Amino acid sequence: MFQYLRSVLFIAQMYIAMPIIGLLFAPWALVDKRGAFAACKGYSRYVFWTAKWMVGLRCEVRGTPPEGEALIAAKHQSFLDIMMIFTALPSAKFIMKKEILYTPIIGLYARRLDCVSVDRGKRGAAIEKMVADVQAGRSTPGQLIIYSQGTRVPPGEKRPYKVGTGILYEQLGQPCVPVATNVGVLWPKHGLLRKPGVAVVEFLPVIEPGLPRDAFMKQLENVVETRSDALMAEAGFGDGNDT
């Protein structure tokens, strides 16, 4: 019960801080993208700090985040992995559902960071638009983050890897960095409880460009799922205390 109360207080202050930090940085963000990056990374680090002392949740990044242009194909389990991956990269932008662009504060920063929006309800058109938007933004170097399963996937649940990641891999001709995580064990997709422990995102070895699409997708899914399973076990998933 005490951990649940701590979790509620943590979540409340986290969402109160979001518009405050967003509005404070907005004048700088509107005239300079560096302001947008500073706001988002500053907010994320604030969340990591408060999570550590309020609910006992520590965030850890493993592996080597890329410095240059790359496609980041990541496992997605909760809002926490978004912040951790973004903060670890020097110039990140996301592929995201278009509805996010119309949300207060978050939408402003998504636009300023050149995030790519897609309509998930129109699969074929969404893939075409995604590729076109990414190609149009090639003049802005950075790391493009895509969640290959298209949504948050709770620990223990299996979802297919969508073809959009393979198409981007082919079209961009950039190295792909897979990312595994266990954050959903401690910060679940649903519910208010935040568990103490170590939340990890891990940047895995690079998949170089040039593989056939099917071979790439098979390798991507294998390395991400295998490593994510290991990280989730490390966090206690499957030991009877993960319900």
Label residue 137 by pLDDT band (50, 70, 90): low
Label residue 105 by pLDDT band (50, 70, 90): confident
Tens digit of pLDDT for each residue in 34-76? Answer: 999 999 999 999 999 999 999 999 999 999 999 999 999 999 9
Asked if the structure places residue 91 within a domain, the reply is yes
**What is the edge-to-edge ordering of all strands in the sheet holding 70-74?**
57-63, 197-203, 176-181, 70-74, 143-147, 92-97, 116-118
As given in the structure block, the two tokens for residue 210 are 């040039």
Asked if the structure places residue 113 within a domain, the reply is yes
The structural domain count of the chain equals 1
Asked if the structure places residue 120 within a domain, the reply is yes
Label residue 98 by pLDDT band (50, 70, 90): confident
Asked if the structure places residue 178 within a domain, the reply is yes
Asked if the structure places residue 189 within a domain, the reply is yes
Asked if the structure places residue 20 within a domain, the reply is no
Asked if the structure places residue 207 within a domain, the reply is yes
Burial class (CB in 10 A: 0-12, 13-18, 19+), 216: buried
CATH number, position 151: 3.40.1130.10
**pLDDT given for residue 216 in this prediction:** 98
Q: In which domain, by residue range, is 65 found?
A: 61-235
Asked if the structure places residue 180 within a domain, the reply is yes
Flag the least confident range among 71-75, 110-114, 119-123, 164-168.
119-123
The pTM for the full model equals 0.92
